[in-house]
Amino acid sequence: MSTGIASAAAGLTRPFATVSPRTRTRIPLIVTAVLLVVMFSVGSLRYEGFLSAQVVLNLLIDNGFLLVVAVGATFVILTGGIDLSVGSMVALSTMLTAWLVESHGWPLATVMPLVLLVGAASGTLMGWIIHTFEIQPFIVTLAGMFLARGLCYTISTESITISDPTTAGIAQTRLYGPGGLFVSIPVVIALAVLVIAFVVLHHTRFGRNVYALGGNESSARLMGLPAGSTKIAVYAVSGLCSALGGLLLTFYMLSGYALHAMGMELDAIAATVIGGTLLTGGSGFVLGTALGVLVLGVIQTVVNFQGTLSSWWTRIVIGALLLVFIVLQRLMSGRRPAAA
């Protein structure tokens, strides 16, 4: 009797046990893609003008900075880590850019590399601390989150509006395509980051090391893989993407503000998980992260089209979706319960 109960419980917790590992890793990605199609279909039936090419492009225009930040977060989560500092680093990047360009008259061409260097250096430092002292990433990146947000307030407690012609020109430039469709320069940058991340993760030795480290760090070390340098590198990538996301947000808002990107670290994690990346690491696709960002964008667009819903409904729906995908991850990788 006890064996039968254990078998039944195993069937409930591991419904994908008979599915091949290769197929199993693609199930969340497929679910996300189907969800995106369904949401667009429902929106097009309910709201006039919802299903149009420009609406899709507007999703990228409004969420290009989040896509870049989420791509960086994907590298970290694939190793089984977490980076809670990304939102604060985005805000710090907007503050540094606005402060140096607007208040001190530095040329944008000088400020941008400096901001990217600050982001990459901060990520590298956190990765080094995590690896060297074997401290949980949650604690280290939480400290980084408070530090970066605090530095924003040391620069200014008020919003710094950017009137620099070069910055404003980049922000307001539209790249037109067939039929009058257009995107902004930050969208092109975000898509380029996505392509580069895809190539790095799936076609380089570093990418294979990232997946191996997330799959089983002990095994990766036994195989002679550079676990330490890989762990430091993924946090450097996350910091670099956060700084770049901050630059894109600066172009989008034309301002620097200490309260920019509040909670963006949670949006980035949500987009990554909804896109099919396992929180335990070792499985996921950067293209899935892009789909996750689009899902978040569609939810916000539906709320805007409805017009009568509070913006908090966006958070409620995202929270529900996140819960569903976490449960799905558990069902895919759940351990077989012990026999009674």
Mean pLDDT of 187-213: 96
Q: Give me 263's structure tokens.
A: 């909670």
Closest of 121, 118, 74, 63 to residue 93, by C-alpha: 118
Mean of pLDDT over the chain: 89
The mean pLDDT of 30-50, rounded to a whole number, is 88
Q: What does the pLDDT average to over 206-223?
A: 92
Instruction: State the amino acid at position 100 in one-letter form.
Output: L
Check whether 12 has a pLDDT greater than 60.
no
Q: Which pLDDT does position 20 carry in this prediction? A: 60
pLDDT band at 13 (very low <50, low <70, confident <90, very high): low
The string of pLDDT tens digits covering residues 76-106 is 999 999 999 999 999 999 999 999 999 899 9
Backbone angles phi, psi at 220, to 5 degrees: -60, -40
pLDDT by residue (tens digit) across 54-69? 988 999 999 999 999 9
Question: Residue 196: which of 276, 63, 290, 79 has the closest Cα?
Answer: 290
Q: Domains in the chain, please, with CATH?
A: 25-332 (1.10.3470)
The percent helix, strand, coil of the chain (3-state, each to 5) is 75, 5, 20
Q: Dump pLDDT digits (tens) for 130-158.
A: 999 999 999 999 999 999 999 999 999 99
Degrees, nearest 5: CA angle 27-32-35: 125
* pLDDT at position 64: 96
pTM over the 0.75 mark:
yes
- Say how far apart CA 340 and CA 332 lie, in whole Å: 23
Which helix (H) or strand (E) segment holds residue 255: the answer is: strand 255-256
In Å, how far from its chain's centre is CA 299? 16
pLDDT digits (tens, 9 = 90+) for 291-319: 999 999 999 888 888 877 777 788 888 88
pLDDT band at 6 (very low <50, low <70, confident <90, very high): very low
